[in-house]
Structures are given as C-alpha cells and as structure tokens.
C-alpha cells in the first residue's frame, strides 16, 4: 500500500469524515469549510520528516498565541542574565486590563517577579501580566526575537486589550507556519539538547510552563485522552486559535498550529480545530 493510501485508510478508520475525504488534506479542507471562517494549519514532526501545511502563510490575528513569542523573548534574555526571572517588575497603571485572573488583585506600583508574570501570561493567559512583560521588554526587542527565530510574517504592535488593538485586528498578526516554526525550535532545543531560540534548559522551562496552560478545549480535545500537550490558545471576536507541542517528551513529538478568523460561529471554529488535531494526530502517528 502506498503512503497516501495508508494515511487515507487510517483517517477513514479513526476520524468521522465525510465520504470522499481520502487523505489528511481533504479532512482539513472539510474542517475548514465547517468552521464558517478562514483556517490556517501547520504541523511538523520531530520523529520523522513529515510536515503538513494548509494556508500556513496566511496572516491571522494572533490573539494570545503570540504570548509564546513574548515568553521566548524573556527566556532569550534569561540565558544572558540568570537573575532575570527573579527580577521584580513594577506594575504600571497602563498595564492593567480585563482578562487578568491572576493580577486582578494587584495594584499599580506593586512589584511582581518576571517568573510570576511569565507563568500567569501562559498558564492563565493573564493580559495584565502580558502587558507588564511587553512594557519591560519593549516592542522592538520582541520584534528582534521574532526575526532571529525566522518569524517573518509575525508582528506584535499593541498591548493586549488596547482599544485600538481590539478594533483593528491587523496590529498583532501571525501565521500558522510562524507559530509552528517557533514551537518546533523550542521542542527541538529541548528534545535534542541544542541551542535554538534559547538554550536547551530554557526550552525545557518554556515547555514545562505550556504543559500547565489551563485552556484545553481545542487541540487537546481532538487528541487521545492522556497525551501530554504543551499549548497556548487565543481568542478574540471572530478568532479561535491554538498552537501546541504534542507529547513533547515522547519519542515522536510534533507541533501543530491551527489559526482561524472571520468566524460566524465560534463553536464551529473550535470544533474545526479539534477535527484537524485528530486528523493530524492519526496521520502522524501512523504515517
């Protein structure tokens, strides 16, 4: 049996897909059509040479998945300054916004460690923590990290919950390929013990933080129960995103980024992400 036929039969057996959907791309196309919006997806395995792209270079509003880039910038700096995570940041009034479950009980002028801010930004997607880190690092420094990582179509130009950023989604943008590439470099650094976007130790720290990310409703729900997933989700009007490293400490980890925009029905977008995650997992684990 050829490889394409093998993947097609595996998908047919394991994924509820419509008649005629004979391969991974057909399932992704079907899921994208179901979403009611535009979908981009990128997956790449460390266990073999397999990769998959669908609208992977299309730009999407990043929502909170771009917080992985901010975290990478922090750990890139931490590699040069081992005291950075313990450093105390003074919270500014302009940092405080909604969607901040951890820092909502803090006040302007309070001092908070960089470590707490990073954990809150990723694990609970705390927007005030994210803004404090952006203020500390600066937009140009974050942009330089993106350039060094090869994220050529990613930009962060506004703080989270900034009114103009809410109205104009074009300020913070990324692609499925860029986010998948960033996660691939983080996973490769940890998995192979080589410096990539950060040192191997810092790559492992970033993965450990993402393993505690609390929103497990998208990619995770499409995977077999119990598979470890280090991920970061994002949501704004018309957008549902999720990017993940699947089974990061296993023998054949892979990365998956699924971005959406222009959704008429948010729940359909979430279901589409789950379907794509399931199809990619079957294809990568059997192919």
Below-70 pLDDT ranges, the chain: 1-22, 163-170, 287
Cα–Cα dist 234/215, whole Å? 9
Token digits of residue 130: 């994210």
Tokens 């980024």 correspond to what residue? 257
CA 87 to chain CA centroid, Å, is: 26
Over residues 37-59, the pLDDT tens digits come to 999 999 999 977 789 999 999 99
How many other C-beta atoms can be found within 10 angstroms of the C-beta atom of residue 227?
12
Token digits of residue 24: 């991974």
Cα–Cα dist 180/188, whole Å? 12
In 3D space, the residue among 19, 44, 24 whose CA is nearest the CA of residue 282 turns out to be 24
| Domain that residue 168 falls in | 3-286
Token digits of residue 98: 């909604």
Helix axes 67-80, 114-123, angle to 10 degrees: 150
CB 104 within 8 A of CB 45: no
pTM above 0.75, yes or no: yes
Over residues 54-77, the pLDDT tens digits come to 999 999 999 999 999 999 999 999
Cα–Cα dist 188/38, whole Å? 29
CATH code of the domain in which 243 resides: 3.40.710.10
Tally of structural domains, the chain: 1
């Amino acid at each position: 049996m050829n490889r394409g036929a093998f993947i097609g039969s595996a998908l047919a057996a394991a994924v509820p897909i419509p008649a005629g959907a004979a391969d991974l791309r057909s399932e992704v196309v079907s899921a994208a059509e179901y979403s009611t919006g535009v979908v981009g997806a990128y997956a790449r395995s460390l266990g073999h040479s397999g990769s998959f792209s669908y609208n992977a270079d299309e730009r999407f509003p990043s929502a909170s998945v771009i917080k992985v880039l901010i975290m990478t910038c922090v750990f890139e700096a931490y590699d040069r300054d081992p005291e950075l995570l313990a450093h105390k940041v003074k919270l500014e009034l302009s940092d405080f916004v909604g969607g901040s479950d951890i820092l909502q009980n803090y006040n302007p002028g309070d001092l908070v460690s960089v470590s707490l801010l990073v954990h809150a930004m990723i694990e609970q997607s705390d927007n005030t923590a994210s803004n404090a880190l952006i203020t500390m690092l600066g937009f140009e420094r974050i942009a330089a990290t993106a350039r060094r990582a090869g994220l050529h179509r990613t930009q962060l130009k506004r703080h989270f919950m900034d009114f103009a950023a809410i109205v104009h989604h074009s300020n913070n943008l990324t692609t499925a390929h860029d986010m998948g590439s960033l996660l691939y470099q983080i996973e490769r650094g940890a998995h192979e013990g080589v410096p990539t976007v950060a040192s191997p130790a810092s790559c492992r720290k970033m993965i450990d933080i993402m393993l505690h990310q609390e929103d497990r409703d998208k990619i995770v729900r499409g995977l077999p129960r119990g598979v470890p997933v280090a991920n970061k989700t994002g949501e704004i009007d018309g957008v549902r995103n999720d990017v993940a490293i699947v089974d990061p400490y296993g023998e054949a980890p892979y990365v998956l980024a699924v971005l959406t925009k222009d959704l008429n029905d948010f729940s359909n977008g979430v279901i589409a992400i789950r379907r794509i995650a399931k199809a990619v997992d079957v294809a990568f684990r059997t192919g």
